[in-house]
Amino acid sequence: MDLPEAIRNAKILIVDDTQVNVILLEAILSNSGYLDVTGVTDPRKVEAMHRERRYDLILLDIQMPHLDGFRVMEILSRDLCGDYLPVVVLTALNDRETRLRALEMGAKDFLTKPFEQSEVLHRIHNMLEVRMLYAERQRRNEILEERVRERTRDLEENWQETIRCLARAGEFRDNETGRHLLRMSKIAHRIALAIGLPDEQADIILAASCLHDLGKIGIPDRVLLKPGSFDDEEWAIMRSHVAIGCRILGEHPSPLLRTARTVILHHHEKWDGSGYPNGVKGEEISIEGRICAVSDVFDALTSERPYKKAWPVEKAVALLNEEAGRHFDPALIETFNLLLPEILAIRAANADDAES
């Protein structure tokens, strides 16, 4: 018989405690062109052999010492074969009950003893054709799934890059390197994890916090870049960066953009209610907003701005602690203090003059 290559090379295992049956089937298969046929008389070896070779077809006797064919099928279907059990059972001609049970357990077909050569070959050929179609379909599905995963990853990366560019636009004029965003977002992420927020939420905070000052894009240079302090009118203009940021972002259902919006809206609110724009207080301020207030102010204080020199770290830490319960959520300042060594490491690794 002329076998297609995939079928000729199919990996076939014969399991029968009666050696002569193994030899007979091996001979029938080899003589008609099958190239990869193995026989075994001890059913206890099947599990390890299949784990190693992943047979395309297992011809399985039922009545065997140590482990009957049903047990072997159970073991194979438990964790080795997924949803496709490539088993053909070998049964006596009149053993209808055994055949039914084997089919119920997932066997694909049966061969009756004594073997009849042309029936054996036809059934095995059919079974392998189905097997190969199934394997081909599996392979295609895996390729498709991998492509979908790749595309999703690309989209995700593009999306995050876009968010970063947008965020950088907001801070470009008073803070050209963008390192403030990098540091404050990493510090916010670290605090989020330390207080036990789930990884996904912390990741969202990492990205969303970069957008906190997006609205500075709408603040005129004469205010934003003023070297000195503000009069009332200038303060009013400056504070509008919150509303401008919210307007630029708009309202979207995505968790990232929704979080970005609360971060923008809340990052200048204060724990005691004396912040802006709405004077909300305590836990009315979203946890994301409270976290970003801490990381933003810490990094703003220790950075140079058009209107101020950078403060030494000790002075900034002292101010944060003085403001615990006034400006900041006191629990977050406790966390901040515990994390200080890590936060300083983030600062050092992302300093304004570091290589990018």
Nearest to 327 by CA among 288, 347, 351, 297: 297
Kindly state whether residue 226 participates in binding ligand C2E, applying the rule CB under 6 A.
Answer: yes
Kindly state whether residue 185 participates in binding ligand SIN, applying the rule CB under 6 A.
Answer: yes
C-alpha dihedral (137, 140, 146, 151), degrees to nearest 10 = -120
Nearer to Fe ion, 16 or 171 (CB): 171
Which of 25, 37, 182, 249: binder of ligand SIN (CB under 6 A)? 182
Long-range contacts of 299-306 (CB under 8 A, 24+ apart): 299/180, 299/183, 299/184, 299/187, 299/347, 300/180, 302/347, 303/175, 303/180, 303/352, 304/352, 305/174, 305/175, 306/174, 306/224, 306/225, 306/226, 306/227
Kindly state whether residue 239 participates in binding ligand SIN, applying the rule CB under 6 A.
Answer: no
Closest approach of Fe ion to the CB of residue 275, in Å: 11
Interaction partner, residue 328 (ligand C2E, Fe ion, ligand SIN, none; CB < 5-8 Å by kind): ligand SIN
Which of 50, 131, 190, 290: binder of ligand SIN (CB under 6 A)? 290
Sign of CA dihedral 212, 213, 214, 215: positive
Total chain residues near ligand C2E (CB under 6 A):
14
Nearer to ligand C2E, 190 or 268 (CB): 268
What SS3 class is residue 137?
helix
Vertex 190, ends 185 and 191: CA angle to 5°? Answer: 100
Kindly state whether residue 229 participates in binding ligand C2E, applying the rule CB under 6 A.
Answer: yes
Applying the rule CB under 6 A, the residues between 160 and 189 that interact with ligand C2E are 174
Query: How far is Cα of residue 313 from the mean position of the Cα atoms in its chain?
Result: 36
**CB closest to ligand C2E, residue no:** 307
What's the DSSP call for residue 116? -
The H-or-E segment that residue 113 falls in is strand 109-113
- Paired sense of beta strands 109-113 and 11-15, if any: unpaired
Nearer to Fe ion, 98 or 302 (CB): 302
Q: State how far the Cα of 198 lies from the Cα of 186, in Å rounded to an integer.
A: 16
Residue for token pair 């101020």: 308
Kindly state whether residue 287 participates in binding ligand SIN, applying the rule CB under 6 A.
Answer: no
Which residues share a beta bridge with 109?
A: 88
Kindly state whether residue 333 participates in binding ligand C2E, applying the rule CB under 6 A.
Answer: no
Which residues share a beta bridge with 61?
A: 90
Stretch near ligand SIN under the rule CB under 6 A, chosen from 35-43, 92-100, 269-277, 338-346: 269-277
Which of 98, 275, 320, 336: binder of ligand SIN (CB under 6 A)? 275
What SS3 class is residue 8?
helix
Closest approach of ligand SIN to the CB of residue 298, in Å: 11
Which of 58, 296, 320, 332: binder of ligand C2E (CB under 6 A)? 296
Closest approach of ligand C2E to the CB of residue 223, in Å: 7
Applying the rule CB under 6 A, the residues between 318 and 347 that interact with ligand SIN are 327-329
Applying the rule CB under 6 A, the residues between 193 and 212 that interact with ligand SIN are 210
Total chain residues near ligand SIN (CB under 6 A):
21
Nearer to ligand C2E, 16 or 269 (CB): 269
Nearer to ligand C2E, 64 or 316 (CB): 316
* CA distance readout (Å), 74 to 18, 39, 82, 103, 210: 21, 20, 12, 12, 54
Closest approach of ligand SIN to the CB of residue 219, in Å: 18
Q: State how far the Cα of 15 lies from the Cα of 106, in Å rounded to an integer.
A: 17
Kindly state whether residue 181 participates in binding ligand SIN, applying the rule CB under 6 A.
Answer: yes
Which tokens in the block code for residue 205? 């905070």
* Footprint on this chain of ligand SIN (rule: CB under 6 A): 164, 167-168, 178, 181-182, 185, 210, 267-271, 275, 285, 289-290, 293, 327-329
* Footprint on this chain of ligand C2E (rule: CB under 6 A): 174, 226, 229-230, 238, 268, 296-297, 300-301, 305-308
